[in-house]
A and B are shown apart, each in its own frame.
Chain A
């Protein structure tokens, strides 16, 4: 064993240690415990003891808090205390008197009360303890609260069974070395987040090694991984996130050193870049775990050395491991490991022999520091209680890592050059675009004014019903009879009552969107009509008429959306446009698909009520409307209706006769009080509630302008296919719903010989009522009077129907298509739903 010289300075003489000594850095100061109840804060600059703290029982472990505001101390058979250390923050240039800040620790400083804890570590707002309890090693994770001095809350517990330590060689020899577990936390280098908190640079592990040791899952999470070396020689990891795929214990055993672990650390590898995990056993086994390139990928590699034990304490500086047997302090170089065979404890080659520093009786080592000259300084305590500063001579300072390899420099230069090129390109592009922008800005101003006018009506349309929008759009439906073919047309009026001119470039866009999706796409596709505006001066109107569909091809409901559109392309010249399209920037998409200013004007849903021929009110409510409208040929109408019926029946499967012949009926019930409140707002408040409801419903039928004064509670109408329809309204009283007694309600009954027409009409009426209902603020107080029992009954009925639907659905999904039975079932549910309406309140 070669010798080496080093300089040793004794900084302070303290009491002779009673138990195991502890020495840790806290900023530029040292925290020192010699196994007694005392903890000393020693300033290395002033070379004085700044504070002494007395704990209730011997201190076995010390950790400065991550924010450097205090320290955690583990007291034997007691728990963990936290004491704030204002001295750490204060500049230590002024030597303070020996007594300052000293004193016994208050009892309420205890943050974790657990006598079993034998070691702990602090990282990332979590404190992890380990202790032996009931034959198991218990790892507890505590959350560190905002106020560090408050009680820490336990978050989770993990366990691993302790192996009997008495057996074998360990038991025989273990008296000579420490019996406490060693906890350590490591981070994987991760590019998504910034570096981990300061002061943890020595805990960064090569990502490949991290993945191999702890799994890819953990390496993707930039949180610390806790590693524990147990006195029985097992090296465990404590993953923060337990993966569902992992069966087995929550604590994973990575390796067994077969002798008590006294030190864990991360070394720099030979080239100074990637680190390896170093494990030192109490009897002199040193293990270095590395990630090595093999067969094109990284695999784990193990290097083992055997040194003369027992190892009391150790520390790492770069690739050098300093360790102390009681009789000597030695240094072992862990670099240049290529030629080393993997296993066995045969004598190491000459370059890897431990070198003695000739310092005896070192019991604790703090993390080495590197002085400005590059020399390594070790702080140590001796078993006589001296605090020593040791500076090894002659050795390089542990290989300060060269920052970048040549290939990395080359890469960096390439990146920089590319960056410069990008900037130049961008500058020239910006220049030309400024010119384009100026011309476009003028046009944009005009567009912007219009946008501002229409913006209030874009989202909250309901709130502005009272005031007329500056640019408004109305539409009415009209039947046009041409060549004996009736067709429905929409006449639309665009009125510009604003003070701006709608210039050339604006387009009025009317979109007819069918709401059905079940039909084939060809006949029911969305149709868009656009009318480019020439120039619409203030106060002018534009009238357009467009065909909706021929009478028997109508499918309702249909949504008609109108919008004003301005294409941004018209602001740009052709060359600029091309330029933008080519460059593949997000702009290109703006110009090509969505480079439009689109201002919604109005959206109207056209339903069956929009296309009914009203035959007028009838006096007697009993007879089914029999008058034939003069406008259509009755035979033609009949034939058309039959054809429709056959078509629709042929589609659904069963023969026409199977569903029974009409008239089919459907009913709706609305509370009278609610209806009155709703209709009070509109202008149709007629003499009778029923009549006014009907009048309101049919007010949008084509050609009904003249007959708006309906006063009868029955209306007969004809639908485009020629089927007869009848709407009846009457007032009824409903029992059982409210606890105040019977409730007045209006019942709207719809009747038709054709099921299809009835469906459409019911849908339309229901939607109208729902829309109307949305405008009325509900008096929720009334709901309290509802009787729960009737509601429950209604719910149960609904659920029974739901179950039927599910059954039908199951039938359909089992069979090839809609079978007869399923169709019957669905029709039954449908009629049930229509004829037993819920009361709308």
Chain B
């Protein structure tokens, strides 16, 4: 067999493999790693055979073409190390065949030499094709400076504009038989180009240079690129703009990203964050609602149905999942945020539905629970239950609210001791923030349940649950149930004794102190609510006592003072009522009832609104009171 026969046979073999691959690609059968691996092996063996022969001018073009095709598959399979070796060896071999010693082991020097030698129009396209592979390889292995040095030796500002000889990658002249390529070098160049720019932009983002990143990414969006990457570019631009305080432009970018079909959850999540920042509550809720819906619908990830090109931006840019930009909260957290925002905005019936959805997830979706990580900002489960109960109360679904409260009560009431004495931690223990149980024998083997702080939590949860239940009965006009529940709540809350009164003066940011404050407010609320209940039953004496105790627990609450005035008036003690009312007006600058630092601020706020809503609007006495101010 003469060498020229061999060339013909090898060319045919190469072309056969390429045709087979194109055919498989058309039929969507080329997605699996094993399929690609098979092609890679075939091309590798062909390359080995060709490299077995001496390298001369006639076979050079064929050899470079097969090398190019082989390298594409190795890139697709992420075998970067192998690809690097193949490429370097190939170049050295060719250089040696032309009689020049490889100058050094330094890749850059090698490449300069190579490009200098191969200026003939017949070989230049092959050389440029290999250069594109080298570019892609450097990109995949994060060696941006090598790219910069080789491709743009004299350019200062990024890789936006390429030198003309690289910009216009040569197309190989017609020859017979033609040498087929797996992928045109021009397409490879475009992909490498856009990916390089995006990598730069991402680098700037990570360094915190957002305005530079915006510039780069906006320029990148002008370059030809696959839609999925374009969507990602728009999304990243949006994130940068949001960080730069340009929310409207940012929203615009997100919208474009969504149109391009970006991974919608990430974009929606970013939009919701942005809307929260803009205090656009309805839009934020809408975004969160869409997010939750999207999270419920199964992800269509059937690999055979969609066509995946040989080289995707993901292979060059690395896995986007590692990027913190794409981090998403769990479904539970999103559901809770949605429900909580609805409650915050006063959309009670919507909030109620959302809380019920959240509870349903908690009740039966073990997978979602497992997926929630420790860093989530989800409150404790009983707190979620109580928020749900309050929401249902506000949405006038009283029996549902009572059912949820019963559940919390069932789980906590049994665990509350007759007396819970809390001792102020010593000064040097303050940093700990936890309470020390009064009696040391409380420390059991199971640390959590033995802690006094957890027991204080039980009291707060059960007390709040009884309070909500009492208010629900109040709205249902079941006076007996109302008084019973509220009395139980009060009885629970008074079980806690503080050993020293220094609690009052603690920093409100302190966890333990805020709990003690919450306890006091809760007591005041429960007493006032029961007072309202007694008013409904016309038991003014008992009501008077409750309102007075409530004010004692938490002085200065205006609505309770109003109620107290009203009781006095109704009992015929007008003088006293007027005096009291005037005295309260003088000292009206006391803090509000609702403790802001508490996590349950929403719950308290809505529980307090009960007192206002129960106040008869046409109260004669109050009108007179107002006049006398």
Q: Which residues on A are within 8 Å of B, measured CB to CB?
A: 124-126, 141, 143, 155-156, 188, 190-193, 207-208, 211-213, 215-224, 240-246, 250, 254-255, 291, 294-300, 302, 584, 792, 795-796, 798-799, 802-803
Contact = CB atoms under 8 A, between A and B. Distances in A.
B363 A295 contact: no
A747 B414 CA distance: 75
A255 B448 CA distance: 12
Contact of B458 (A216, A250, A792): A216
Interface in B410-434: 410-412, 414-419
Interface string B455-478: 001100100000000000000111
Contacts of B385: 220
Given A211-B412, A216-B381, A222 B369 contact: no
From A191, A297, A584, residue with most partner B Cβ within 10 Å: A297
B234 to A, nearest CB: 13
A803 B245 CA distance: 9
Nearest to B477: A584
Interface string B382-414: 100100000000000000000110111011101
A223 B363 contact: yes
Given A240-B366, A250-B374, 12 more contacts: A192-B363, A207-B410, A211-B415, A216-B381, A217-B381, A220-B382, A243-B378, A243-B380, A244-B377, A244-B378, A297-B418, A802-B248
Nearest to B376: A244
B449 A220 contact: no
16 contacts: A155-B367, A188-B411, A193-B363, A193-B364, A207-B411, A213-B446, A213-B449, A215-B449, A216-B415, A220-B411, A222-B363, A241-B372, A244-B378, A250-B374, A796-B249, A799-B249
A223 B363 CA distance: 7
Given A212-B449, A300-B444, A584 B408 contact: no
Contact of A242 (B249, B372, B457): B372
B371 interface: yes
Contacts of A250: 374
A172 to B, nearest CB: 26
B302 to A, nearest CB: 14
Contact of B371 (A156, A297, A795): A156
A256 to B, nearest CB: 9
Contacts of B248: 795, 798-799, 802
Contacts of A143: 367
Given A155-B371, A221-B363, A302-B445, A211 B411 contact: yes
Nearest to B379: A244
Contacts of A219: 411
A591 B74 CA distance: 78
Nearest to B416: A297
B209 interface: no
Nearest to A126: B366
A531 B403 CA distance: 46
Nearest to A246: B374
Contact of B249 (A126, A193, A300, A795): A795
Contacts of B376: 244
B415 A795 contact: no
Nearest to A255: B445
A208 B414 contact: yes
A739 to B, nearest CB: 16
Contacts of A792: 249
Contacts of A215: 448-449
Contact of B407 (A124, A190, A218, A584): A190
Interface string B42-60: 0000000000000000000
Contacts of B445: 255, 300, 302
A241 B408 CA distance: 17
A73 B448 CA distance: 36
B415 A241 contact: no
A217 B371 contact: no
Nearest to A125: B366
A798 B332 CA distance: 37
A212 B451 CA distance: 11
Interface string B354-380: 000000001110110111111111111
B122 interface: no
A124 B414 contact: no
B112 interface: no
Contacts of A245: 380
Contacts of B332: 241
B382 A208 contact: no
A242 B371 CA distance: 9
B252 interface: yes
B370 A155 contact: yes
Nearest to B455: A297
A291 B414 CA distance: 10
Q: Return the 8 tightest CB-CB contacts between A and B, nearest first.
A: A296-B418, A584-B477, A217-B381, A297-B417, A240-B369, A241-B369, A212-B449, A156-B370
B79 interface: no
Given A191-B406, A244-B376, A300-B444, A223 B367 contact: no
Nearest to A208: B414
Given A126-B366, A216-B382, A240-B366, A300 B449 contact: yes
B252 A795 contact: yes
A287 B268 CA distance: 52
A295 B411 CA distance: 17
Contacts of B370: 126, 141, 155-156, 240-241
Contacts of B363: 192-193, 221-223
A223 B369 CA distance: 10
A219 B410 CA distance: 10
A297 B449 CA distance: 12
A191 B418 contact: no
A802 B249 CA distance: 12
Contacts of A212: 415, 446, 449
A376 to B, nearest CB: 32
Contacts of A302: 445
A216 B411 contact: yes
B512 to A, nearest CB: 13
A706 to B, nearest CB: 45
Contacts of A125: 366-367
A184 to B, nearest CB: 16
B246 interface: yes
Contacts of A803: 245
A191 B478 CA distance: 23
Interface in B178-229: none
Contacts of B249: 792, 795-796, 799
Contacts of A207: 410-411, 414
B444 to A, nearest CB: 6
Nearest to B398: A586
A792 B250 CA distance: 11
Contacts of A190: 407
Contacts of B367: 125-126, 143, 155
A788 B611 CA distance: 55
A193 B191 CA distance: 55
A792 B253 CA distance: 11
A148 to B, nearest CB: 16
Contacts of A798: 248
A798 B478 CA distance: 56
A155 B370 CA distance: 7
A798 B252 CA distance: 13
A110 B579 CA distance: 83
Contacts of B362: 220-221, 241
A224 B377 CA distance: 23
Contact of A295 (B417, B448, B458): B417
Contact of A217 (B252, B374, B382, B419): B382
A11 to B, nearest CB: 38
A299 B414 contact: no
Contacts of B419: 295
Contacts of A216: 380-382, 411-412, 415, 457-458, 461
Contacts of A584: 476-478
A242 B374 contact: yes
